[in-house]
Structure 1
């Protein structure tokens, strides 16, 4: 039971990391994923909500406020022992309010699918260690339109990249009784799309401490806290030059809690930025909020 609670928790945490995006500054970290939630011996369906924002930091953009939201459905299934496939489909809506007017862009985002291998799943008395690795593709299913720049919007205000993007990740955690620590790095690369635009390489990692409180046989609560880091290289535009307002380095303090009842799991998370730089400090990052509901079957 504790293994299941642990996997649910770290899955929600990883979901927060992979859904993150700084579209306002021309970068996007991965697509939605339910992460280690997929490592249950049971398959699952998951629905995740994610929201974040950026404010203009220059004197001429102080009144500009960008908000980005996504709703992601994911499915996990097991084709063979110690292997699992995770597929996710996001729907995105992005809004900007400014002195020049209000803008809205929404639609289906880029579908992502990964194949993952369980490498280690060991338990020694009260201690357990888990490690898996996965790789896959983010598919060019979302809309990408360079003409958004004419409306004073960054290119990544689009709902998709229209590029084939390989992704890779490693998930590891160590537990002792109810206490655990998680470490999870990931990476994404993007090929040049049909508009001859190439998004920058994206790296992210997080570490997290959590403690599982078992209330009853079917009910548990797990609070957690930790740190998330992301680094996104600058994009290269169709002229072969670096795109203005792209590239980022972000640090976030993460807090949240996880509730499990029978086959249902709910999670709420908040990420607060610190020592972060986006779009060459032309924007200021706001907090990030996520909510996820998972059904195990």
Structure 2
């Protein structure tokens, strides 16, 4: 029991540790967030819809330049699945289709299409979840993967390359590390997740900053006849370093944000339906002297088939 307490403390500590700096918005936002995974011991395939909004404002403090603003919305539908290869090893795949919209004083553009495909492998280090004799149950998975440059990264408006964050893909092959830990005592549980994304340079010698995210959320398991309900709430943190174009650090890139999360997972036989809402509590982006950037609310809806 003592070693389990040590593991819990280490994971919670990692989940609450700040990294150096989130891409302000767009295709490289956050990395792959699992959330509370449906029925950890089964394969599944499903769809997730998500949306994130940002507001940018520029005040030049000049009588010759007007104030500028931009309302940016990043929507995504994602085909995802989990498949066990042996008892302890699982493979996950994420195939996103994005729709980005920028509504600003200087630029109004939209872009949609295939995003960057991600492949991950997770190894089960600890699993007592299938032991019906135990009130206290744990599962702990660690993994890694690769994000492929399948999304468009050269979208232009009137012959000029649109903001890198607005692109559907990064144009780079990137690498991911992840850890997901769940503990449950009777009907009450806690889920801790961390992820780190190591980015590489694309063919234009542009480097998106490395990214980190962590979440911790409590949940309550309740059966209502043949339906299982899992309400949950907690905190989500994300951060990213500044971008580099060649060796030049880019303004208005990178930063961090802490968001409050609340959601509900519903299980009916082989079908799982989940909804999650995130509201920003604090944020600090690396904006320059004339710009301010604000993260708005986010949401995610998922439907999966377990087999």
Unaligned runs of 5+ in 1: 1-20
Measured after TM superposition, the shift of residue 77 of structure 1 is 1.2
Change (3 A) 1:51 1:182: same
- Structure 2 match to 1:232: 240
Query: In structure 1, what is the Cα distance between the partners aligned to 2:286 and 2:280?
Result: 15
Contact 1:24 1:154 in 2 (8 A): no
Q: Alignment length, in residue pairs?
A: 274
Among candidates 141, 166, 172, match of residue 163 of structure 1: 172
The secondary structure found in structure 2 opposite 1:57 is strand
Query: In structure 2, what is the Cα distance between the partners aligned to 1:266 and 1:277?
Result: 33
Query: In structure 1, what is the Cα distance between the partners aligned to 2:302 and 2:92?
Result: 16
Change (3 A) 1:119 1:174: same
Note the 1:134-149 alignment, pairs <5 A: 134-145=143-154, 147=156
Report which of the two structures shows the higher radius of gyration computed on alpha carbons. 2
Change (3 A) 1:155 1:56: same
Query: In structure 1, what is the Cα distance between the partners aligned to 2:211 and 2:157?
Result: 23
- Structure 2 match to 1:7: none
Say whether residues 1:286 and 2:296 are aligned partners.
yes
Unaligned runs of 5+ in 2: 1-21, 60-65
TM value normalised by structure 1: 0.86
Query: In structure 2, what is the Cα distance between the partners aligned to 1:119 and 1:102?
Result: 48
Contact 1:47 1:293 in 2 (8 A): yes
The secondary structure found in structure 2 opposite 1:156 is helix
Question: Which structure carries more helix by proportion?
Answer: 1
- Structure 2 match to 1:295: 305
Query: In structure 2, what is the Cα distance between the partners aligned to 1:44 and 1:263?
Result: 9
TM value normalised by structure 2: 0.83
What RMSD over aligned residues (CA atoms) do the two structures have, in Å? 2.2
Bigger RCO (CA 8 Å, 6+ sep) = 2
Contact 2:24 2:255 in 1 (8 A): no
Contact 2:196 2:212 in 1 (8 A): yes
Change (3 A) 1:161 1:47: same
- Structure 1 match to 2:252: 245
Say whether residues 1:260 and 2:267 are aligned partners.
yes
Say whether residues 1:203 and 2:212 are aligned partners.
yes
Query: In structure 1, what is the Cα distance between the partners aligned to 2:67 and 2:27?
Result: 16
